[in-house]
Amino acid sequence: MAGTAALRARNLEFWTRAAPGWIRHADRQDELGRPLGAAAFRSLRPVPGENVLDVGCGTGGTTAELAAMVAPTGRAVGVDLAQSMVDTARSRFAAVANVRFEACDIETAGRVPGAPFDAAYSRMALMLLADPVAGCASIRRALRPGGRFAATVFRDAAANPWLVAALLGAAAHVGPLPPLPVGGEPGPFAFADPARPERVLTAAGFSQVDAHPVDASLCAPDDPDGVTEWLIEVGPAGAAYRAAHPDQQAAARQGAAILLDRFRTAGTGYRLPAGIWLLTARCPGP
């Protein structure tokens, strides 16, 4: 396994190259990806007047939802590693008065912008950290004593078969892909073992740590071309797909559509099963 510094450098390069896909599909990701973070929203229960942190905010949709929950006197701060996604979030939600977006490497941040917070939220980001203990320790330090933390991460590949299907269906038709993660390296299934997130959060200094399995479904319209392009572009094949010839892109979408067809009902749409962990914890204190 690569060292932490090498993994951080790899992460930065990956997300810099991946960001255009997330930016292009920002509205679709906000709408169709909502079930991936719904359990954490329900657990966190932000209330008006609270200050809330969103870790791995991407193009800002989840941060804007948090801002609406804590309005009018509370605020939400979204942080992300990719500057281009932060810039997009600022543009998309420029009219929202109580939201702020900052480019920040949560693993190395001495102080998280906007701290201290009453609560912190993260949707599908912790599993992508090179050093999740360092990242979670930064989150814990950004919370007030007694502050709440709720996050979601994927379980194993078997519980999320559409992720692998989209990748395998596209891979044969585009250029070289980034190195696939091994062991505990950053990737969608880095927290497949529930003992690992519990160990990470405990080592980061959190108390009342819990990892609870949640089954969700992503419902997408009956648009094979659009759905496959979305899943390819926000996945590890996204950069290679965008660099490919249009004929290769069409073949990649078709290849992904074939493997994803078992999740499709003609005339109704896609139902993509998502097996996730709901992680909850508190910053020690009153």
Q: Mean per-residue pLDDT for 197-207?
A: 97
For the chain, the residue count is: 286
Q: How confident is the model at residue 183 (pLDDT cuts 50, 70, 90)?
A: confident
Average pLDDT of the chain to the nearest whole number:
96
pLDDT average, residue stretch 72-91: 97
User: Residue 179: which pLDDT band, with cuts at 50, 70 and 90?
Assistant: confident
Contact of 134 with 190, CB cutoff 8 Å: no
The pLDDT assigned to 50 comes to 98
pLDDT at position 215, please? 98
- Taking residues 137-159, report their average pLDDT: 97
Tens-place pLDDT, residues 210-254: 999 999 999 999 999 999 999 999 999 999 999 999 999 999 999
Q: Where are the alpha helices (DSSP H) in the chain?
A: 4-24, 26-32, 35-44, 61-70, 83-92, 132-142, 161-171, 195-203, 224-233, 238-243, 246-260
- Where along the chain do its domains lie? 4-156+181-217+274-282
CA-CA distances (angstroms) from residue 45 to 113, 141, 215?
Answer: 22, 20, 20
Distance CA 58, CA 182 (A): 24
Res 184 pLDDT > 90: no
3-state helix, strand, coil in the chain (%, to 5): 45, 25, 30
pLDDT at residue number 286: 75
pLDDT of residue 1: 56
Q: What DSSP character marks residue 127?
A: G
Contact 156, 192 (CB under 8 A): yes
Superfamily holding 4-156+181-217+274-282 = Vaccinia Virus protein VP39 (3.40.50.150)
Q: What is the pTM of this model?
A: 0.96
